[in-house]
Amino acid sequence: MAFKRARGANAIVAGAFESVYGTSPGSGYYKLPIAGDIALGDEQGRIASDLIGFGREPLASADDVVNNSGDVKVPVDLRYFGFWLKLLFGAPTTTQGVAASGTITFATNPADADTVTINSVAFTFKNTPTLATHVQIGTDLAATLANLIVTLNASANASVTPATYSADADLTMLTITHDTIGTGGNSFTIAASAGTPSGATLAGGSTSGPYNHVFVSGVVDLPSASIEIGMTDVEQFFMNYGVMANTFSIPMQRSGLLNATIGLMAQGERTPTGSTGAGTPTELVIERFAQGQGYLKRDGVPLARVQSGTPKFSNEMEADESIRPDGRIGGADAGQLTGGIDNLTVRFGDPTLYNLAIAKTPLELSFGWQISATKKLTCVYHRVILPKSKLPISGPKGIQASYNAMIERHPTLLRSATITLVNDFASYA
């Protein structure tokens, strides 16, 4: 008879949220897809004896404390990723429906005195802007449209602020998206003398359709979960309890699989048994986002020539190292969060980001991935100030600048990050 050996291919990971920290629920588990790596489980070292006078042979060692922390690599997917977002940011606010939207398409660069009118507020293209509603005409359409989008998103006019403004990758079309899910945005008017609007008003706002799960940074009390790792080849199941999410990072690049690394901190692991404590976990359809579906924008304007970058976020968890007879932590408390985009690497083609860094201009960075209009993940860092970067020349190839962008709390929104997952899953409660 062949010996059984545990294999990662047959390992099953199941997770459920806890109502009470450290108490594993008896139901509600989901089968969680893992992208090859999970390192969760108890570790307990030994402390060497410090006694003298008994010769050179070592005396009995003693137990050290129990630690349980490690990383898990997970696919950034349409449905399961909400489980990890809830661990990281807390429960989302979920609204069903679609926000009204519309477009203005430009065929040529607007001329001086041309206008776009947003909800009855006219914005005028000018060679020499002097007012808040003036838009600098650039050297080409792309530059002008970028200026328009920055102006609209920065506007404090109460008629303009209910919507968010962005552009397509080619910088020929302005997209206006109402910020409120539902039919209210369908009466928001748009017009233009220099472009072609999709209609007289935004359209498509509805209270039916996909679910919009909005996660925000800075939640005081974060949830915990129980995560069971089942090694089914040898019928051993390891239940980790009091699991909290501390960090995440998502490498962005032109191609390849899109995965996130989540840093976990658990209170402990129960003695493995021959039967699962997760029952039959619910299994969802896996639909992964792809690197090729990604985008990165600055104040709603697509960032050109971005080569790579790693969005990161940390809850700066601190273990409660109270003295306990079981040697385990008493819990984990979230500290002052940190985040940003590490190694945001851009081919140097124009000085826009470089000049923003020199001027220390606050900007909004948004990134995400989209399968369709009803299947998308959008992440917004509301206030970022780029550090000044040098431009090293390494041989005859392209010159690149690299920035480590750090997030800050937005003075009006009073948060630094918002992540929205749009899918067909009703609730992450």
52 domain residue, yes or no: no
- What is the phi/psi pair of residue 38, to 5°? -145, 130
- Confidence band, pLDDT 50/70/90 cuts, at residue 350: low
Percent above pLDDT 90 for the chain: 74
Q: What's the total number of domains in the chain?
A: 2
Q: Looking at residue 189, which CATH number applies to its domain?
A: 3.90.1160
Partners of residue 63 on adjacent β-strands: 46
Q: Which tokens sit at 86? A: 């809830």
| pLDDT for 390 beyond 80 | no
Tell me, what's the pLDDT at 1?
Answer: 47
Q: Which tokens sit at 172? A: 């020929």
Same-domain pairing of 83 and 166: no
CA-based Rg of the chain, rounded to a whole angstrom? 26
Q: Give start and end residues of each alpha helix (H) in 90-244.
A: 141-154
Q: Which tokens sit at 360? A: 């220390």
Same-domain pairing of 398 and 337: yes
Has this prediction a pTM greater than 0.85? yes
355: enclosing H helix or E strand: helix 352-359
Same-domain pairing of 202 and 261: no
Same-domain pairing of 171 and 227: no
Same-domain pairing of 307 and 194: no
Domain that holds residue 155: 97-210
Nearest CA among 379, 102, 372, 366 for reference residue 213: 379
Same-domain pairing of 137 and 228: no
409 domain residue, yes or no: yes
User: Which residue, of 179, 210, 241, is where some domain finishes?
Assistant: 210
User: Which residue, of 155, 176, 210, is where some domain finishes?
Assistant: 210
Same-domain pairing of 74 and 121: no
pLDDT average, residue stretch 237-242: 95
User: Which residue, of 177, 210, 243, is where some domain finishes?
Assistant: 210
Q: How far apart are CA 322 and CA 327, in angstroms?
A: 9
Q: How far apart are CA 396 and CA 424, in angstroms?
A: 49
Structure letter (DSSP) for residue 45:
E
| pLDDT for 327 beyond 90 | no
Q: What is the pLDDT of residues 125-157, one digit of tens each?
A: 999 999 999 999 999 999 999 999 999 999 999
170 domain residue, yes or no: yes
